[in-house]
Amino acid sequence: MLRRHFFLVGALVVLVLMVLAGTWKLTLGKSAPAGGPPGAASKGGVGPGAGGGRGPGGGRPAPVTVITAGSHTFVDSIDVIGVAKGRQSVTLTAAATQLVDRVLFRDGQSVARGAVLVELKDTEQNAGTAQAQARLVQAQRDFDRWKTLGEQGYASKAAIDQREATLASAQADLAAARSRQADRTIRAPFAGVVGLSDIAPGALINPGAPIVTLDDVSAIRVDFDVPDRFLPMLREGQALTATTDAYPGETLTGRIQKLDSRIDERTRAITARAEFPNGDRRLRPGMMLRVSIARGQRQGIGIPENALAVQGQSAFVFAVTKQGNRMVAEQRPVVTGSRQAGYVEILDGVAIGDRLVGDGLNKIQPGQGVRPAGPAGGKRPAGARP
């Protein structure tokens, strides 16, 4: 019993000591200054409101390129997309089932009109032509003989007419045999460039099966649809331009060759056909072209695209303004218009002569101090002013 009371008293003493130790620690924590040992608050620290702050308007001025908003010429245009095709294009096929005897072209070869490209096996057709030729010779002889007898009075007119019909039938048979023989020779219907082909001697060709493509690429045609409301602005022979992703930065010049005779009643658009010279054969059928038809020019406020920032549906610029003895970047929302040749049309929010931050907008905060500096490389963009 005495041992049990001894253990209870010992546990109670330990509990009291723990409570006293905790109270002492709390008392020391309240008396020490926040953020460090005593004396730390007297040292020059950096914090909110200190002179080293980097918030809007604080810190060193950021070096920026400054441009001046000015007048720029913008071209109103109709922009559409079309697919290039050759002046003439065709996929050559066979008219009959037959084996390939000879292939007389190379992939990508330029061929003249009428050039023989493929010869099919024509042994049977040659024999049929020879047979028809022999019948024609015999029919001609019979007709000449009976005609002579008729002139001498020894043959009736009915007999002569019968021989004449036989002669005409033999002539028709020979023409048909020659046509079947010609079907075994595949010729180029116009001058152009042949494409890639897997046809080889011994291959079996079926009617309608493609043999090789042939394209006249001396000029490229592009068909495109234009809404009917622009019809008064279109005319045959009108100049237009086009660009393609294959040759970035280059502009192609062509003309409207033809306008369709009717407007599509479903799309309310008219199809126009443009033609672009292609003497160097750089353009290929199947390329996508962005066609632009100029409607006129106008003057507007234009700034380089680098001076415009876009966030979602909003666009803004940073105007360089003077506040006291320093220059600051003032954020201004703007309304934009056309984008052409690296310039953006500003419809509202900027006036001619306003000084704007020209680049590096992602490093600028509204109200931040700025210091005008020249562009990289020592070159100054057009309209820029220190």
Model confidence pLDDT, tens digit, residues 24-55: 666 655 444 444 443 333 333 333 333 333 44
> Is the same domain home to 266 and 238?
yes
CA distance 104 to 115: 9
pLDDT band at 381 (very low <50, low <70, confident <90, very high): very low
The identity of residue 365, as a single letter, is: Q
Same domain, 344 and 199: no
pLDDT of residue 35: 41
> Does the residue 144 lie in any domain?
yes
- Given a cut of 80, is residue 174 above it in pLDDT? yes
What is the pLDDT at residue 76? 75
Q: Helix, strand or coil for residue 8?
A: helix
Q: Which two tokens stand for residue 349?
A: 């929010």
Closest to 84 measured CA to CA, from 292, 289, 290, 293: 289
Q: Which among 94, 82, 102, 138 has a CA at the least distance from the CA of 254?
A: 82
Left, alpha or beta for 232 (phi > 0: left; psi -120 to 50: alpha)?
A: alpha
Is 223 among the domain residues? yes
- Residue 168 Cα distances to 44, 45, 145, 165, angstroms: 121, 118, 16, 5
Q: What is the CATH number for 162?
A: 1.10.287
Within this chain, do residues 369 and 352 fall inside the same structural domain, yes or no?
A: yes
Q: What pLDDT does 53 receive?
A: 39
Tell me which of 273, 294, 315 is where a domain ends. 294
The more confident residue out of 362 and 44 is 362
Instruction: Confirm whether 260 is domain-assigned.
Output: yes
Query: What's the sign of the alpha-carbon dihedral 105, 111, 116, 121?
Result: positive
C-alpha–C-alpha distance, residues 322 and 330, integer Å:
10
Which backbone phi and psi does 356 adopt, to 5 degrees? Answer: -130, 155
Helix (H), strand (E) at residue 163:
helix 157-182
How far is residue 207's CA from residue 230's CA, in Å, rounded to a whole number?
Answer: 45
Question: Measuring CA to CA, how many Å separate 72 from each of 173, 301, 318, 343?
Answer: 76, 6, 19, 8
Q: What is the pLDDT of residue 220?
A: 93
Tens-place pLDDT, residues 261-310: 999 999 999 999 999 999 888 999 999 999 988 877 788 888 888 888 88
Q: What is the pLDDT of residue 28?
A: 54
* Together in a domain, 279 and 314: no
Q: At what angle do helices 123-152 and 157-182 cross, to 10 degrees?
A: 160
Q: Please indicate, yes or no, if residue 346 is contained in any of the structural domains.
A: yes
Its domain, for residue 337, covers 62-75+299-378
Say if residues 318 and 333 touch (Cβ distance below 8 Å). no
As a whole number, mean pLDDT of residues 175-185 equals 85
Q: What is the pLDDT of residue 112?
A: 93
Mean pLDDT of 374-386: 41
Are 193 and 223 in the same domain? no
Given a cut of 80, whether residue 244 has pLDDT beyond it is: yes
My answer on whether 116 and 155 are in the same domain is no
The torsion angles phi and psi of 185, rounded to 5 degrees, stand at -125, 120
Q: Which residue, among 341, 339, 221, has the nearest Cα to 289 in the 3D structure?
A: 221
95 in helix, strand or coil? coil
What total number of domains does the chain contain? 4
Q: Do residue 163 and residue 312 come from a single domain?
A: no
The residue type at 240: L
Query: Is the separation of the CB atoms in 346 and 303 below 8 Å?
Result: yes
Quick one: 350 and 201 in the same domain?
no
Same domain, 109 and 202: yes
